[in-house]
Amino acid sequence: MAALASSPAADRIAFDDFMKVDIRIGQVIKAETFPEARKPAYKLTIDFGDPIGVKRSSAQITRHYTIEQLTGRKVAAVVNFAPRQIGPFMSEVLTLGFPDADGEVVLAGVDRDAVIGGRLF
């Protein structure tokens, strides 16, 4: 996965294409182990407020985060992808992160108190 960090920029897109991807800030209200996952992962329950509500996500973030560190944390996620079956779990949103030097995921976040459900622009 470390190769992703050094890959060239993707092709240019129009601003309207970017706006099709709905990225919101949510707050993790529950984090659980996901022993059935092929790669180490957590099952996250994330509150995005009204009108999106509570959604679930599978996230391969066990290297840098504990369940205790995740509960209450604000995370960015794509909320308008189709749900994806991950083993026995239905992941409804894509929690966003960046690779560290070893290719492990570091969560994308905010450095101030952003409103739950706020959309990235």
* Per-residue confidence in pLDDT tens, the chain, 121 aa: 445 557 899 999 999 999 999 999 999 999 999 999 999 999 999 999 999 999 999 999 999 999 999 999 999 999 999 999 999 999 999 999 999 999 999 999 899 999 999 999 9
- Inside any domain, residue 78: yes
The count of structural domains within the chain is: 1
- How far is Cα 86 from Cα 41, in angstroms, rounded to an integer? 10
Domain interval for residue 74: 21-107
- Inside any domain, residue 3: no
- Inside any domain, residue 9: no
Q: State the pLDDT at residue 119.
A: 96
Q: Give this prediction's pTM.
A: 0.92
| CB-based contact 112:105 (threshold 8 Å) | no
Q: Tokens 């949103």 — which residue?
A: 93
Q: State the pLDDT at residue 7.
A: 83
CATH of the domain at 61: 2.40.50.140
CB-hemisphere CA count at 13 Å for 53?
2
- Inside any domain, residue 113: no
Q: State the pLDDT at residue 6.
A: 72
Q: State the pLDDT at residue 4.
A: 57
- Inside any domain, residue 86: yes
Q: State the pLDDT at residue 109.
A: 87
- Inside any domain, residue 119: no
- How far is Cα 46 from Cα 76, in angstroms, rounded to an integer? 10
- With the CA atoms of 62, 67, 97 and 82 taken in that order, what torsion angle do they form, in degrees rounded to the nearest 10? 100
- Inside any domain, residue 66: yes
Q: State the pLDDT at residue 120.
A: 95
- Inside any domain, residue 89: yes
